[in-house]
Structure 1
């Protein structure tokens, strides 16, 4: 008896510009992605979450980037957003509390409205440069998404949703996630925006229902003059951060 392939996974977050662009590219090229791929949030945990992870024997693999890499990413994301035709306003994060929007997303998922909230939050952050860790910004995003803001705002203090979020980060630990976006297809892992083509190619090889169409070239969406620049710093994968 053949074993059914494991559901493909996508680890994303609301902080990373590469995660934002990768998900947009993924869903533009494979609109069925949200119903076929498991989306799992991943973020910088606060002290409470870190302690809970430690108690489970898990850690947080991601390490903060250098100033040089951060400055490179500022330039790189500007080039890529212009290439893709995405409007982008770089937000300024001051003491961000990433549990607020990510646990809010989990609350929206319980209501079946996580896609709408995700779209509203990414528009607020990447198109208007707003602080999505601010409860008032989160409230407006929930209202824009047609989601009851009460459970979304209360998620950060909800023990059940906290536990669900800790479980997501524990899964990330066991899947060796160290940066975002991070795709997992069976035993294969793909890190970064520039690995989206390989992930889509892997999906096309799965048996069964229709899969995303092939890209025009191996670096679809990234012009040749940029392909050599992306990931040139720190020997990291292109288009990936935390």
Structure 2
């Protein structure tokens, strides 16, 4: 689907299987506002590998991603645990030894082609945030595919040149939609960034007036968690 189409008024969200905040937004949408989740377009967004970066450059696109400062990385670790703790959600922080996000996000596109994209996302989030599994491991993706009744070759979607092009088109759409982090929601000309803006986006999609309340658990008590040493953070912008 072209970026021009995505810039029309259809409500949509850019999500990442990597981001804890995308997971929070997904859970709030699926558990509290499933009608809205059914009505919006789902577009994956991730930090591109060398090949995707080359294809993006050929289209004149440079995504607004940059290395994250170590202190911010550890803040996100603790904040994400605090958020999950406040909601009573189980969370197991994954350790990504060699992140390669095309593996899972192109597999999502392969599942979407078979009408199981939403189910794939649900199982991928469970694998990552409840079981601490590495979504860059093809065996993890093959296991998800098996649960969905899909051919395990879905795990090799990263090697499919057509899916690679589709994935790059998603990233180009994000660029033209001025998406600079995830989760990122759009309704008409209105953009909403961050899991705490789910309520505002939902109100916009339903044509209701937003009550001004955030979805973030600001009233949650401080929660300090021990996090594993993951070396130098190599991550990017997210909410």
1:214 is displaced (CA, Å) by: 7.4
The equivalent residue for 2:168 is: 166
Separation in 1, partners of 2:218, 2:179: 27
The equivalent residue for 2:79 is: 76
Contact 2:196 2:216 in 1 (8 A): no
The DSSP-based 3-state class of the residue aligned with 2:34 is: coil
2:160 is aligned with 1:155: no
The equivalent residue for 2:125 is: 122
The CA deviation string for residues 108-145 of structure 1, in whole angstroms up to 9 with x for no partner, is 00000111211111111100101111011111111122
Match of 2:93 among 90, 95, 117: 90
**Structure 2 vs 1, CA of residues 48 and 30 (structure 1 numbering), >3 Å: closer, same or farther?**
same
Regions of 4+ moved over 4 Å:
none
The CA deviation string for residues 166-219 of structure 1, in whole angstroms up to 9 with x for no partner, is 00000001111111100011111111111112111211217xxxxxx977x712
1:29 is displaced (CA, Å) by: 1.6
The equivalent residue for 2:214 is: 219
Unaligned runs of 5+ in 2: 1-7, 223-236
The equivalent residue for 2:48 is: 45
The DSSP-based 3-state class of the residue aligned with 1:224 is: coil
Q: Which has the higher contact order (CA 8 A, sep 6+)?
A: 2
The equivalent residue for 1:231 is: none
1:221 is displaced (CA, Å) by: 5.2
**Alignment coverage as a number of residue pairs:** 218
1:224 is displaced (CA, Å) by: 3.0
Contact 1:83 1:221 in 2 (8 A): no
The equivalent residue for 1:233 is: none
Separation in 2, partners of 1:44, 1:57: 17
The equivalent residue for 1:193 is: 195
Separation in 2, partners of 1:104, 1:171: 19
CA RMSD of aligned residues (A): 2.1
The CA deviation string for residues 65-107 of structure 1, in whole angstroms up to 9 with x for no partner, is 2111111111111111011221100001111110000000000
The DSSP-based 3-state class of the residue aligned with 1:60 is: coil
The DSSP-based 3-state class of the residue aligned with 1:32 is: helix
**TM-score, structure 2 normalization:** 0.85
Contact 2:200 2:210 in 1 (8 A): no
The CA deviation string for residues 144-175 of structure 1, in whole angstroms up to 9 with x for no partner, is 2222222x123111111111000000000111
The equivalent residue for 2:205 is: 203
The CA deviation string for residues 27-80 of structure 1, in whole angstroms up to 9 with x for no partner, is 212112343100000001001100100111111112222111111111111111
